[in-house]
Amino acid sequence: MTKIGSVATRVGRKALLLGSGELGKEVAIELMRLSVEVVACDKYAGAPAMQVAHRSHVLNMLDGAKLREIIELERPDHIIPEVEAIATPTLVELEKEGYHVTPTANAALLTMNREGIRRLAAEELGITTSPYMFASTEEEFREAVSKVGVPCVVKPIMSSSGHGQSVVRSMDDVDRSWHIAQEGGRAGAGRVIVEGFVNFDYEITLLTVRSVSGTEFCEPIGHIQIDGDYRYSWQPQAMTPAAKAKAQEIAKKVTDALGGYGIFGVEMFIKGDDVIFSEVSPRPHDTGMVTMISQDMSEFALHARALLGLPVPAIRFYGPSASRAVVVEGDTNRIEMDNLEAVLSEPGTQMRIFGKPEIVGHRRMAVILATDESVEAARAKAERAYEALQVTVLPRE
């Protein structure tokens, strides 16, 4: 039997979040709904999940010694990585010592950089991927671009939200792309992946849940990215029955190899009935924020339920839905979101404002959610709400 005792007592459960952004905040809320004590960690103070957690710590999560110190201090029942930039070898050591990492320390290790998961999928599991090569030096990078061919996409092996990503459209772009990748990696300068362009009709995120009940799939999520960063998502993405079945087969093969319980965001390219694997995140996915309005259990509720060892017997899908990210540019610790009565005037609209403490450059600060009779109508409704939103960037205090 699975049991959860009174919060913050010897019989209670404690979860430690490694990463406390908007996705971690929703996971924290769902865990607290099940009486779990939540400790939020991130590299800066006042991160969104810290605003709702019982306690928080600020640290460089790539510092293995500091990470171990906090985990040994808190002694959590569940260690939940919510970002890629973590000292995963330390998590592997801690798991061997008896700590529980979600979904597993090995899954965090393999997926924290694109090389581990790409080699697992393509070279061990035999799953179709885009052509790729890795490079550690500028000389190797030039050679990789020449062999993969242009156009190609360049990404640091450790990055997220499009940081460090660029497109090489001709050999004249090589220097620029190399420097973008070196500046944008989560762990600083380092190794990159060069990926050949894939001819595809659309791309999806297939949220895949592993729990004591087995494996369940959410309806496929379509999305649009700008410079590698998500801007729009919708659910369901229309697919042929053959493509959907193949996508589920690939997602199960990859997530079974990674193991553990929790939600996985499996990204794939679709061309007709053909499916090409791209990436997987062993945690909630930003494009999956649409599930906060489209399902009876959001991706965050599913993650919390699964990692606690509770069953996920089925996922009830409510109907066509869409999300629209609100990205704000500036250098400030003060913004105002105005005209909210117009933003939320239509039935079937919701909004989440993340509460991030500052912006330097550009940052995703909120998301608008909508549901309607069709995906097209839901996307249009979300866009109308977005157009009604007024954002004021005030001078930094």
Q: Which residues are catalytic?
A: 160, 162, 267, 279, 286-287, 364
Q: Which two three-digit tokens encode residue 120?
A: 């697992």
Distance CA 190, CA 255 (A): 27
- At residue 231, φ and ψ (nearest 5 deg) are -120, -40
How far from chain centre, in Å, is Cα 179?
25
Distance CA 298, CA 29 (A): 12
The residue type at 98 = G
Distance CA 386, CA 290 (A): 15
How far from chain centre, in Å, is Cα 92?
21
Q: Is 209 left (phi over 0), alpha (psi -120 to 50) or beta?
A: beta
**Dihedral (Cα; 172, 173, 174, 177), 10-degree rounding:** 170
Burial 245-276 (b: 16+ CB within 10 A, else e): ebbbebbbebbebbebbbbbbbbbbbeeeebb
The residue type at 229 = D
The residue type at 222 = G
- β-pairing, 214-217 vs 202-211, is antiparallel
Distance CA 369, CA 383 (A): 10
The residue type at 150 = V
Distance CA 86, CA 68 (A): 11
- How much is the CA Rg of the chain, to the nearest whole Å? 21
For 66, 180, 214, 264, 380, the CA distances from 259, given in Å and listed in that order, are 27, 34, 11, 10, 38
Beta bridge partners of 366: 326, 353
